[in-house]
Chains A and B, each alone.
Chain A
Amino acid sequence: MYRTGMARRSILTVALVVALAIGIAMAIAAFRQGDTSAPVPPAVPAVAPETAAQRGVFAAEEPARLLAEGRWPGLPVRMPDKGRTAADLPDLVPPPQSFEQAPLRVMFRQYEELPEAQRALAARLVAQRLTECLVHKNIEEAQLQRHAEEAYLQWLEGRNSMTTLMQPTVALRAIDQAYSVDASQWMDDWIAKQRRMHRLCDGTATGSFDERWPELQRWRQRAAELGDLESKFERAWTLFLLDTNSGDATRLVELKHEALQLVDEMLEMRYAPVLLVLAGYADHGYFQLPDTDLHRAYLEAYARISANPSRSSWRWHSFPVAALDNWLVGFDRNREAYIRALSSQRLERIQRWADAIESWPDRQNR
């Protein structure tokens, strides 16, 4: 009995102590809970959070493996290697020198008479001429001087419009600098250029830029289809520059297919300028959400490759490397700034992808 009573007492005591402990613990917990649930204003992030796109393929740890699988960040489909080499490129023969110097009207006529092998490069030349003539206006000889004066004044106004944003003393210096240009020499140069363009652009469709643009794109497309890599690049780069109204959606669907086809063909040939196209697509977000870091990664890779073309498997084929240097002027200036602005994590990812793209192996080495 006694032992039973002792046992009961002990159990009761333990139970009460436990209950007390629980009560005190709950009181403390309530205190602490109240402490942590106090409203705290959200902190402004110093570095912007990652976008959904940055968490996609671009976020992956193994860029080299993904590239080997044909998974290029920013593109919606795989670009698997089909094993083609430069030997598979068609032999493109340049048209006669006279074709290049001829007025547009003559180029159109002569193109039809050229042998098949010369047509790809000839079509590219026509497209280049149409580009030069996009905004050219035919001005009668008697009106040239008057138009030159107007053009000079417009040029000065353009220079001066920037001065309103400058400090006053600096603005005065800038205006002085603008007016120190020899006006008559400027106008003579302008007139000479107009005369030259007048001859070369003879045959251009009359009308506005918007009306001339489709013709230019048709010639680019023709040259690209005939196998000219430079025209594939130009076409891929300019596909979405105009006509991106919401009403153009049906046609844009077709253009997207064409863009992916062109990119695939250029990647297959290890054609370095395709990296500039991919940089542009990433920046605008044509296929996935816009991603400025991915844009930087492609440009970074291209900048490195163009600085040391012989070190990588990327090629320019007939395209002169220097022709695209101006694409990097802004990037070189901005590179230093974005290195200062971005987090080390983001910089590391940019560098990692640039490394992988730069050292993307030739198919012989894989």
Chain B
Amino acid sequence: MGGCDRELAGPAESMMHRSTTRSVLVLLLFLAAVIFLVSEQYWEHEFSSEDSGSPQDSRAHDTVPEHAEEPNSGAASARAMRPNLVTHVDGVPVWELPQEQRPAYFAELRALADAGWAEAMLALASEAGLCVLRQGMDEGVVYVAAHPDYAYIYLGAELETAEEREAAMPERWAHFEQRMEEYRSNRETCDIVLGEDPDVIMDWLEHALVQQHPGFFRALIEDRIVPFSPGWVVRNAERLAIFNQGFLDALTARVERGDREALAVAWKAWAGRRFLPEPDAERALVYGLAARRLPPPWNEHAPDDAQLAEIAGADFGPRQRQAARQAADELWRRCCADVMKRPGAKDASLD
């Protein structure tokens, strides 16, 4: 009977029980879903508001912080094209930012330089050169150079009394801490600029030579783009030898085509030892004389009389000077006379 009752009562009770259970479970599920959605939105809101407070962090995300969209917000606004890569700040390319604003964008400049962007390479060159020089200096070297126990032996430490040494210690420790902090800071910067491989500069130079973007020849000739650390130069000598030849060949071709910017500075490449083991005075003179015939503002880079005399040196006789003048005339006719007028350009003269 009981069994039968249970059986008879079963469907109704069961229906009610099932309905209650379902309701509770649905409610729980609903609650869980609400908790999930609310928590998602909460954290998203929390982090997006934290992110927007730091331009550096905002660049690590695809999203652009809201205030970056506001026109004339006062602060420079950087907009990421893709994660970790800003190319412009308030409309100014990162490679054209003033020197003091560039450090914040070294990572961008490095990424662009690695991608063969010559303007970025040129903007990064001076800092990269410093980092090459710092390569041989680790914290052990800085430690010896600044630690109170070691740094003062050449500064009369043996002449100090115990009291004098004691009195000087606070200042010396402060100096030590400052030097170590500078070292760490420089190290962090150089990790961004060059990473672990300072020879990446050679890659940049080779890419830039292929592209020959405007300003490349002048920058290579007038600025210190190629590092001058002996270790770097020796280590990269094989590639550098090929680069130098390629650079001079490309420069010659540019001059022959009448490229004003190239002609304006070409004489300097042959007058110095940056691309050649010994200066080539004859060629430097020919290019220098031709450069003097360029119109302003290009002729501002041409050699003046004193520079011409210095290039020629004492060994240059009248016959060689005459030959240089004729060669310069021929070069000018060949490369430039048809494509350039020379309003107000002064006469070239070696005398």
A positions within 8 Å CB-CB of B: 2, 5, 9, 12-13, 16-17, 19-20, 23-24, 26-27, 30-31, 33-34, 37-39, 44-45, 47-49, 51-52, 162-163, 165-167, 169-171, 173-174, 177, 240, 243-253, 255-256, 283-290, 292-293, 296, 333-334, 337-338, 340-342
- Rounded to whole angstroms, the CA-CA distance of A299 and B88 in the bound complex is 49
- State whether B232 touches A285 (Cβ < 8 A): yes
Q: How far is the CB of A324 from chain B (nearest CB, A)?
A: 21
In the complex, what distance in Å separates the CA atom of A290 from the CA atom of B197?
10
Which stretch, B26-34, B89-97, B115-123, B304-312, touches the partner chain A?
B26-34
A307 to chain B, nearest CB (A): 21
Is there contact, CB below 8 Å, between A248 and B156?
no
Verify if B250 is at the interface (C-beta below 8 Å from A).
no
**1/0 contact trace for B8-20 toward A, CB 8 Å?**
0010001000100
Q: Is the CB of A289 within 8 A of B135?
A: yes
20 additional A-B pairs beyond A39-B51, A244-B233, A289-B196, beta carbons within 8 Å, are: A2-B10, A20-B29, A23-B29, A30-B39, A44-B188, A49-B191, A162-B154, A162-B155, A166-B156, A170-B164, A244-B230, A244-B234, A245-B228, A284-B230, A285-B136, A286-B231, A287-B234, A289-B198, A290-B136, A338-B140
Task: Select the stretch in B72-80, B267-275, B328-336, B341-349 that faces chain A.
Answer: B267-275
A-contacting 9-mer, from B144-152, B253-261, B282-290: B144-152
**Can you list 13 A-B contacts with CB-CB less than 8 angstroms, sorted by A residue number?**
A13-B21, A19-B32, A51-B135, A52-B197, A163-B156, A167-B168, A250-B244, A284-B234, A286-B235, A287-B234, A290-B231, A334-B140, A341-B140
Number of A-B contacts (CB under 8 A): 191
Q: Which of B29, B197, B272 contacts A289 (CB 8 A)?
A: B197
B62 lies within 8 A of chain A by Cβ: no
Contact partner, B50, options A5, A31, A39, Cβ 8 Å:
A39
Instruction: Write the nearest CB–CB distance from A34 to chain B, whole angstroms.
Output: 4
Interchain CB contact under 8 A, B244 and A13: no
A246 with B274: CB separation less than 8 A: yes
Give bound CA distance, A249 to B227, whole Å: 13
Give the 6 A-B CB pairs with smallest separation, nearest first.
Answer: A23-B32, A34-B43, A244-B230, A341-B143, A252-B237, A285-B231
* B57 to A, closest residue via Cβ: A39
B159 touches A288 (CB 8 A): no
Bound CA span A295–B26, Å: 72
**Interface of B, helix, strand, loop or mixed by DSSP:** helix
How far does the Cβ of B190 sit from chain A's closest Cβ, in whole Å?
10
Min C-beta distance of B181 to chain A, whole Å: 8
Interface size range on B against A: 35 or more
Q: Which residue of chain B has its CB nearest to the CB of A254? A: B237
CB A54 to nearest CB in B, in angstroms, measures 10
Contact A20 B36 (CB under 8 A): no
Contacts of A292 in B (CB 8 A): 136-138, 140-141
Asked if B277 is an interface residue, CB under 8 A from chain A, the answer is yes
| Cα separation A284 to B233 with both chains bound (whole Å) | 10
A161 CB to nearest chain B CB (Å):
11
Report Cα–Cα, A292/B143, bound state, in Å.
Answer: 13
Q: Which residues of B contact A166 (CB under 8 A)?
A: 155-156
